[in-house]
Amino acid sequence: MSRINRIFARNFTILAGSSLSVLAVTILAPALPAMTTAFKDVPNSDLLVRLVLTTPALFIAIGAPISGFLLDRLGRKPVLIVGLFVYALAGSAGFYLNTIYVILISRAILGLSISAIMSGFTTLLMDYFEGKELERFMG
């Protein structure tokens, strides 16, 4: 693979990976009305369904410092690989889980994986780019 192709693949991977945090929340929003209907017999289901949308944000904030520590201690690649693997499992969990409480737990785990992904790809940006090149890439 040529140097230009490797740089393109690297930059594409960073951009694609950085978008995963946004996808985790926006993809779920249209399903909330159906979830409210599906869990209508569960006490406080309206609140619990809304928590499904907001729980990842709380756990992103909790997990970010831990992810930063692990990125420095273990390296970028292992943390990102585990984060992406857990993201795939926890992000798809709503498809095969059938109780709102377990779905909430999976969303908390998803938030932790997003914290690893966000921190990891941001760190990679700082590793690979600086100055005008960073500004151009971020734009």
Q: What is the CATH number of the domain that holds 91?
A: 1.20.1250.20
Condensed to tens digits (0 to 9), the pLDDT of residues 71-124 reads 999 999 999 999 999 999 999 988 899 999 999 999 999 999 999 999 999 999
Q: Once rounded to an integer, what is the mean pLDDT over residues 28-54?
A: 91
- Look at 74 and 131; give whichever has higher pLDDT: 74
* Residue 39 structural domain: 3-138
What DSSP character marks residue 30? G
pLDDT score, position 82:
97
In the chain, the percentage of residues whose pLDDT exceeds 70 is: 99
Closest CA to 110 of 72, 70, 71, 63: 63
Tell me how many domains the chain contains: 1
pTM, to two decimals: 0.90
> What would the two tokens of residue 36 be?
């409210």
**Neighbouring C-beta atoms of residue 54, cutoff 10 Å:** 11
Among residues 115, 119, 123, 116, the alpha carbon closest in space to that of 59 is found at 115
- Of the two residues 57 and 139, the one the predictor is more confident about is 57
Q: What is the pLDDT of residues 12-32, one digit of tens each?
A: 888 888 888 888 778 888 888
